[in-house]
Amino acid sequence: MALSDKLNILFPMAVNDASLTVTPAPVATLPESGLLNSRRDRFMRVLGTTATIKLNANKLDVVSGLALGYHNLIDGSTIRIRLYDGFNQTGSVTHDSTALSAGTIKPFGEWVPGVDPVNAEWQLGDIFPQHYFYSFSQVTYQSIQIDISAPNNTEIDIGRLMLGYVFEPKWNYEWGSKWEWIDEGDENTASSCYRAFTFDLNDLENFENDRYEYEKIKTTKQGDLLLCLQPSATGLERLKNTAICKRNTDISRTRHRANANKHTDKYKEIV
């Protein structure tokens, strides 16, 4: 499946928290419950080089995307995602991603011959949180299994698991979209840095406008989501433009002609 050039927003849906299991068992002080918590300081840790995550939906549901946020997976790590139409990983497999690279490869121009090894990946977790985002055609599911292989890690950290609906507009956001790196520190105060994204969606047709409004209302300003401005981007561009955010603006729609609706939104990265 070709990666999109358009805005993708992953709106997470509720899952059955009680069904969440991780193998091998996470560190007692950093349990699997950290996967479903939107706070950046709450995460799950598994010691070793592999981890398997399983959970159920609350009911038969439709999904089109998944994210593993705030991970520490380094060079050579892979992720495999399988969705099932039965509970507890039974029934038919409705989607199998196969093993996919979890990293962000340095493209030509960012890759330096003689300095970087072949297929070197960006490791910038100290600047930009590392988020794995995967979108696919909508499928039904009742359970999921995620297999992580990280042969060069000694421990696997994941701070957020999102499974849900990916919104992609028919017409992309307008020229003039704004990317901000906000540094709240000064010469005397330690920095608290985060990104903010502002854009206009000027031509949402009525059916996609309704869905976009519904998802924003359901998520609320307090709920988190994953924003990816251009999934087909590579290297630093993809890292800079993929973030777990909260909506910073109220929901407002302007209908400027028949079957054409405008939204202006600002999303701030969770600190």
pLDDT tens, 31-58?
Answer: 999 999 988 889 999 999 999 999 999 9
Same domain as 30, residue 144:
yes
Residue 8 within any structural domain of the chain: no
Average pLDDT value for the chain: 92
Among the listed residues 160, 172, 123, the one whose alpha carbon sits nearest the alpha carbon of residue 9:
172
pLDDT tens, 235-269?
Answer: 888 889 999 999 999 999 999 899 999 999 999 99
The CATH number of residue 101's host domain is 2.60.120.260
Same domain as 252, residue 198:
yes
Residue 41 within any structural domain of the chain: yes
Q: How far is CA 146 from the centre of its chain?
A: 15
Q: What residues make up the domain containing 261? A: 178-269
Q: HSE (CB half, 13 Å, CA atoms) of 234?
A: 10
**CA 34, CA 17: separation in Å to the nearest integer?**
11
Same domain as 78, residue 183:
no
H or E element at residue 206: helix 206-219
Q: How confident is the model at residue 127 (pLDDT cuts 50, 70, 90)?
A: confident
pLDDT tens, 54-105?
Answer: 999 999 999 999 999 999 998 889 999 999 999 999 999 999 999 999 987 7
SS3 110: coil
The amino acid that residue 200 corresponds to is D
pTM for the predicted model, two decimal places: 0.93
Same domain as 150, residue 18:
yes
Residue 192 within any structural domain of the chain: yes
Among the listed residues 240, 247, 250, the one whose alpha carbon sits nearest the alpha carbon of residue 194:
240
Residue 36 within any structural domain of the chain: yes
pLDDT tens, 192-217?
Answer: 899 999 999 999 999 999 999 999 99
Statement: residue 2 has pLDDT above 90: no
Structure tokens at 82: 């399988």
Same domain as 115, residue 87:
yes
Q: How confident is the model at residue 125 (pLDDT cuts 50, 70, 90)?
A: low
DSSP letters spanning 33-85: GGGG---TT--EEEESSEEEEEEEEEEEEEEEEEEEES----TT-EEEEEEEE
Same domain as 108, residue 223:
no
Based on the structure, what is the number of domains in the chain?
Answer: 2
pLDDT at 195: 96
pLDDT at 107: 66
Among the listed residues 114, 112, 133, 135, the one whose alpha carbon sits nearest the alpha carbon of residue 122:
112
State which of 165, 194, 223 marks the end of a domain: 165
Same domain as 74, residue 47:
yes
